[in-house]
């Protein structure tokens, strides 16, 4: 295969977003292919409709199946590229002064050739660092990235629900306050103190509930940011050289597991609006006073009438 053909072949296996060989490639409706993590990150950061990063055609669905053929070809191309030998002290065997090019499947350590033939490692299974890194890259990190992406979407849904609850609560409280004011205004002279008491009570209860929801909103926002940051870190780790990827795998795995474990759940707050104590008593008292006043006025009027019409002997 001549260099031009090889270059064209490699170009077909390269994601136009990250400019690296495909990792979990998907082919969208328009026919263009991208790494699944790159495509979703591109869509999330753009915060616009799901359109192709190359031709801008809008995709009809958010989920796509992995292009298995591209995935296999990209994996082979990645393993076939020239091995980058790291000259750092960590990549050179202290005992044999050779580069560590093998990965021990049992001890999970990088080894040089002579070390792999030693009594300590002879019976263990070994693979090249490129093959081992590909397994972590494609099988383990991608699965965690997919889990984090789904949890990020779920967290966004929870966040939207929590925000909606805050707006609904504000509307509900406003209606309740209007209702209370209307009721209290009818007998304002009798129940002014009662009105203030209930307004303060619902404000206090609402303030506590708002605080709980806002705290939950902050926690979910922070968790969403942590999930997005972890997703990006995993995506960046997948593109690291094989030896470096294997060295940081433990820390990245532990960090991503920790992020997945600490997931806040949405709240379901309620504000109980009990009976307005004293309101009906005040209304009844107001009605009784009105009736008594009416009767008195009628009796006085009738008495005056009888005095005027009484015959004078």
pLDDT at 145 over 60: yes
Alpha-carbon Rg for the chain in angstroms: 37
Instruction: Give the per-residue pLDDT at 288.
Output: 65
pLDDT at 88: 56
Q: Find the mean pLDDT for residues 70-93.
A: 70
For residues 159 and 224, the answer to whether their CB atoms sit within 8 Å is yes
Q: Is residue 301 pLDDT above 60, yes or no?
A: no
- Scanning the structure block, which residue is given the tokens 């107001």? 286
Please state the separation of Cα 221 from the chain's center in Å. Answer: 7
**Which tens digit of pLDDT belongs to each residue from 256-276?**
888 777 778 887 777 665 555
- Looking at residue 289, its pLDDT comes to 58
In this prediction, residue 166 has a pLDDT band, given cuts at 50, 70 and 90, of very high
pLDDT at position 171, please?
92
Q: How far apart are CA 243 and CA 102, in angstroms?
A: 9
Residues in the chain, total: 313
How far is the C-alpha of 200 from the C-alpha of 205, rounded, in Å?
9
Position 292 scores a pLDDT of 56
What's the chain's average pLDDT? 76
Cα-based distances in Å from 276 to 169, 173, 198, 282, 283: 20, 15, 7, 11, 12
Do the Cβ atoms of 133 and 245 come closer than 8 Å?
A: yes
Q: What is the mean pLDDT of residues 90-119?
A: 77
pLDDT the model gives residue 127: 74
pLDDT at 182: 82
Rounded to whole angstroms, how far apart are CA atoms 61 and 29?
A: 8
Measure CA 136 to chain center. Answer: 25
- For 111, other C-beta atoms within 10 Å of its C-beta total 23
CA distance 128 to 237: 18
Contact assessment for residue 173 and residue 208, using Cβ atoms and an 8 Å cutoff: no
Residue written as token pair 């263990």: 124
């Amino acid at each position: 295969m001549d260099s031009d053909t090889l270059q064209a072949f490699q170009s077909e296996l390269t994601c136009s977003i990250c400019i690296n060989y495909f990792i979990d490639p998907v082919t969208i409706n328009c026919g263009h292919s991208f790494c699944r993590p790159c495509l979703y990150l591109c869509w999330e950061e753009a915060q616009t409709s799901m359109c192709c990063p190359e031709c801008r055609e809008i995709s009809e669905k958010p989920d796509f199946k992995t292009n298995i053929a591209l995935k296999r070809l990209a994996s082979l191309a990645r393993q076939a590229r020239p091995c980058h030998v790291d000259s750092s002290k960590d990549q050179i065997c202290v005992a044999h002064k050779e580069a560590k090019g093998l990965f021990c499947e049992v001890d999970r350590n990088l080894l040089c050739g002579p070390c792999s033939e030693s009594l300590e490692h002879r019976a263990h299974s070994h693979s090249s660092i490129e093959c081992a890194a590909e397994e972590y890259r494609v099988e383990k990190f991608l699965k965690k990235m997919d889990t984090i992406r789904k949890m990020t979407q779920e967290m966004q849904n929870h966040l939207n629900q929590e925000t909606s609850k805050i707006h609904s609560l504000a509307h509900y409280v406003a209606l309740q306050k209007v209702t209370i004011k209307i009721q209290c205004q009818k007998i304002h002279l009798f129940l002014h103190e009662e009105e203030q008491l209930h307004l303060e009570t619902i404000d206090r209860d609402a303030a506590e509930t708002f605080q709980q929801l806002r705290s939950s909103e902050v926690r979910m926002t922070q968790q969403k940011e942590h999930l997005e940051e972890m997703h990006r870190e995993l995506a960046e780790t997948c593109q690291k050289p094989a030896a470096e990827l294997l060295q940081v795998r433990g820390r990245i795995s532990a960090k991503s597991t920790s992020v997945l474990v600490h997931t806040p759940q949405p709240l379901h707050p309620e504000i109980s609006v009990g009976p307005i104590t004293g309101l009906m008593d005040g209304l009844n008292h107001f009605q009784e006073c009105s009736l008594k006043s009416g009767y008195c006025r009628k009796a006085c009027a009738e008495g005056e009438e009888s005095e005027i019409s009484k015959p004078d002997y």
